[in-house]
Amino acid sequence: MNLDTPLVYVKGVGPFRAEMLEAKGVSTVNDLLHYPPFRYEDRTNLKAIGRLAPGEMATVIVDVREARLPKMGRKNLGMFEAVFGDASGRTLTGKWFHGAYLANVLVEGQRVALYGKVEFDTYKGDLMMMHPEFEILSADDEEGDSSLHTGRMVPIYEAAGKVTAKQLRVIVHRVLASIAPLDDFLPATLREQLKMPTRWDAIRALHAPPEDSDIRLLNAFRSPAHIRMIFEEFFWLECGLALKRNKARTVEGVRFDLNDRVREKIKAMLPFKPTGAQKRVLGEIARDMAEPHPMNRLVQGDVGSGKTLVAAEAAIVAIENGYQVAVLAPTEILVAQHFAYFKNLFHKLGYVVAILAGSFKPKEKEKIRMLIEQGLAHVVVGTHALLEEEVKFKKLGLAIVDEQHRFGVMQRLKLMEKGAVKPDVLVMTATPIPRTLALTIYGDLDTSVIDELPPGRRPIVTKHVMSSRVEEVWSFVAREVANGRQAYVVYPVIEESETTALKAAEKMFLELRDTIFPKLRIGLLHGKLAQSDKEAVMAEFKAGRIDVLVSTTVIEVGVDVPNATVMVIEQAERFGLAQLHQLRGRVGRGGNQSYCILVTEKLGETARDRIRTMTESNDGFHIAEMDLRLRGPGEFFGTKQSGLPTLRFANIIRDSELLEVARNEAHAFIANPPSEDIFRRAVHYIRENWQRRYGLVQVG
């Protein structure tokens, strides 16, 4: 047996269990050894029933004497009870609420290991355990298997289908007993310096903790074995990203000339004086564009911080050097906004700005594609339609990707391939990520942050209102409209159903138009409208001919109407923090005080935390950090979209300090490896264990 052995060939697995394990991403012996327990139980307190005391946590090995669903009269109380006994002559009752299913599981005569808190049953005058953990020590347990489940620190695995935690313990135990010790690819000097166990010792300690292990450290993922495996995951990930960055710096790109003509064009285009943060970020971009290898830079900035203006300045550098610019955005609404923005900025410079979207008719697409291929369009703004094979650029020099988190890494690469040489890439996101984590999530990108809003912007006042008081909200909206302002009313996409959200929005539109605001002008915007109709509605709203715009989340990004001062979000508990913050950013774009009103039903704990975060803060970075903590890194980043692998041991929030140590050590190792042989060995390991699985790094 070796690490690559499929689990189907491991004793006790077979095709049925192998299929269930594979659904969890566990298909080989190596995968199994890297499938860590999610918690541990201290079952070392093994006692006979006669020695148990109320209040203690204990493990007992007992026989089932009785098992029943007690009834009171003709009524089943939904409680399952089993009476257990042992050689001490005493009995212990186990009770499970809603335990009817156990009637087919626990039967008289079985030998069982119970683990739980001992209590005194005042009604019966005997000992009991409420909802104890139990494992049936069946006759087919091999010699020694039963000791895996009691009398020790017991690892608890997440079940895989019908493969239980107990069965996983047995399978892991057999694998560990029959496999040769694992090689350790972590440089020995580094491991000794950080006083970490070997990989083999760490893997064994994870699945079979030593007797003297501290249960608190085990369950906090801070045992020496956990720290070793977490560090290793981060270290190889950061090594891979460092190698990828190094390789990118050897690729031939465009060296843009930053001459006086470029500077004069930028000055002529600027609609207002840039903020200090915008100037700083443009300087970082300009230095990148002057280099002979492709720029790969991420610009993070809160809603309304002016990222698009910085992108427009970068576009001028490319255009004045004779190159074209592609702007990729995730939605047609946002594409239309970018098109209008760039067209307005660039018309005085004589640049041609084109737009390409999936909803365009074939003849329209063909006409735009011809302009692009002949180099007659200086800037092309588009959705995924830009990535189609038929779209060919004459001389692409700069690719701008907006709202990066909506695109996959491969889509970004596909756009880059449309240049004769690799174009510079500028990625923008209004979903801020704490710097430490951004260095890993966007590890192949240099990072810039616009951390300053344009002068005159007032903080948006955010209020939470229960749906039972929504009439007060409508009164407030009416007062704002009477003062010459405009408002949005947004409905969530429920369970990812655009149709459901559309019906809710249409229903509210009719109610607002006909009943609540019969004298106001009410508009409706949703994803099912044709692009031309969406643009017409937005144009009407922007021109002030619509007072209240009812919408689904299609207005989440890119909509800019300075006169809109109220954002009402219905059923706000259904939105994530990032979406709420983006929606709030649609107001507060002019000089007037703006408001965001979160209307909710009764809130659960997590939803209450989200709403409280929104009412207490306008800081996108703080909100992003809270979002990370509430949702967890996998859901927040979308590992498939970001290119980040699914980490088995590490958690980039919980283990951020270890991540920082691992990054520093990885960069030092790649920059100055102990020897050529150790470096080659490490690169081979990264290729085999990271590139092959995740496509994270490609080295020669």
605-616 vs 620-631: helix crossing angle, rounded to 10: 170
For the chain, where do the domains classified as CATH 3.40.50.300 start and end? 260-450, 461-617
Contact indicator for 423, 289 with CB cutoff of 8 Å? no
- Of 565, 584, 689, 686, give the one whose Cα is nearest residue 241: 686
Q: What percent of the chain has pLDDT over 90?
A: 39
| CA distances (Å), origin 79, targets 62, 73, 109, 119, 655 | 21, 14, 21, 17, 41
End-to-end CA distance of the chain: 31
Q: For residue range 595-644, what is the model confidence (pLDDT) as tens digits?
A: 999 999 988 888 899 999 999 988 877 787 787 777 665 555 554 444 45
Helix, coil or strand: residue 652: coil
pLDDT band at 273 (very low <50, low <70, confident <90, very high): confident
Based on the number of CB atoms within 10 Å of its own CB, is 27 exposed (0-12), middle (13-18) or buried (19 or more)?
middle
Beta-carbon contacts of 56 under 8 Å, excluding residues fewer than 6 positions away, are: 45, 117, 118
pLDDT at 312: 93
pLDDT at 551: 87
Provide the b/e sequence for 47-65 (b: ≥16 CB within 10 Å).
bebeebeeeeebbbbbebe
Q: Is the pLDDT of residue 594 over 90?
A: yes
Beta-carbon contacts of 556 under 8 Å, excluding residues fewer than 6 positions away, are: 579, 582, 583
Q: Which residue has the tokens 């339609």?
A: 385
Q: Which residue has the tokens 């951004």?
A: 438
pLDDT band at 496 (very low <50, low <70, confident <90, very high): very low
Task: Give the CATH fold of the 260-450 domain.
Answer: Rossmann fold (3.40.50)
pLDDT at 243: 85
Q: Kindly state the average pLDDT of the residues 9-17.
A: 90
Q: For residue range 164-219, what is the model confidence (pLDDT) as tens digits?
A: 888 899 899 999 999 999 989 898 999 999 999 999 999 999 999 998 899 999 99
Q: Which amino acid is it at 129?
A: M
Lowest model confidence (mean pLDDT) among 24-28, 325-329, 641-645: 641-645
Average pLDDT, the chain: 84
Backbone dihedral region of 496: left (phi > 0), alpha (psi from -120 to 50 degrees) or beta? left
Contact indicator for 405, 641 with CB cutoff of 8 Å? yes
What's the longest Cα–Cα distance across the chain?
A: 97
Lowest model confidence (mean pLDDT) among 103-107, 369-373, 491-495, 583-587: 491-495
- Of 283, 271, 404, 406, give the one whose Cα is nearest residue 347: 271
Dist CA 85 CA 49 (whole Å): 7
Q: Is the pLDDT of residue 694 over 50?
A: no
Please write down the long-range contacts of 157-166, taking CB distance under 8 Å and 24 or more positions apart: 157/35, 157/37, 157/38, 158/24, 158/38, 160/17, 160/20, 160/21, 160/23, 160/24, 160/26, 161/19, 161/20, 161/21, 161/23, 161/24, 162/17, 162/20, 163/17, 163/20, 163/21, 166/135
Dist CA 246 CA 595 (whole Å): 47
pLDDT at 384: 84
User: So what CATH class is 45-151?
Assistant: mainly beta
Contact indicator for 320, 262 with CB cutoff of 8 Å? yes
Q: Kindly state the average pLDDT of the residues 425-452.
A: 75
pLDDT band at 76 (very low <50, low <70, confident <90, very high): low
Q: Is the pLDDT of residue 494 over 60?
A: no
DSSP letters spanning 295-329: -EEEEEE-TTS-HHHHHHHHHHHHHHTT-EEEEE-
Output phi, psi for 76, to 5 deg. Answer: -85, 125
For the chain, where do the domains classified as CATH 2.40.50.140 start and end? 45-151
Helix H segments across 249-275? 260-269
Contact indicator for 429, 404 with CB cutoff of 8 Å? yes
User: So what CATH class is 461-617?
Assistant: alpha beta
Q: Is the pLDDT of residue 296 over 90?
A: no
pLDDT band at 440 (very low <50, low <70, confident <90, very high): low
Output phi, psi for 194, to 5 deg. Answer: -90, 5
- pTM given for the model: 0.68
Helix, coil or strand: residue 573: helix
Q: What percent of the chain has pLDDT over 70?
A: 87
pLDDT band at 495 (very low <50, low <70, confident <90, very high): very low
Beta-carbon contacts of 611 under 8 Å, excluding residues fewer than 6 positions away, are: 464, 572, 573, 598, 600, 603
Q: Kindly state the average pLDDT of the residues 415-444.
A: 75
Q: Which residue has the tokens 């903080």?
A: 459
Helix, coil or strand: residue 27: coil
pLDDT band at 556 (very low <50, low <70, confident <90, very high): low
Helix H segments across 128-275? 165-178, 188-193, 199-207, 215-219, 224-248, 260-269
pLDDT at 142: 43
Contact indicator for 41, 156 with CB cutoff of 8 Å? yes
Helix (H) or strand (E) holding 676: helix 676-686
pLDDT at 559: 66
Contact indicator for 41, 115 with CB cutoff of 8 Å? yes
Q: What six digits make up the tokens of 327?
A: 């702007």
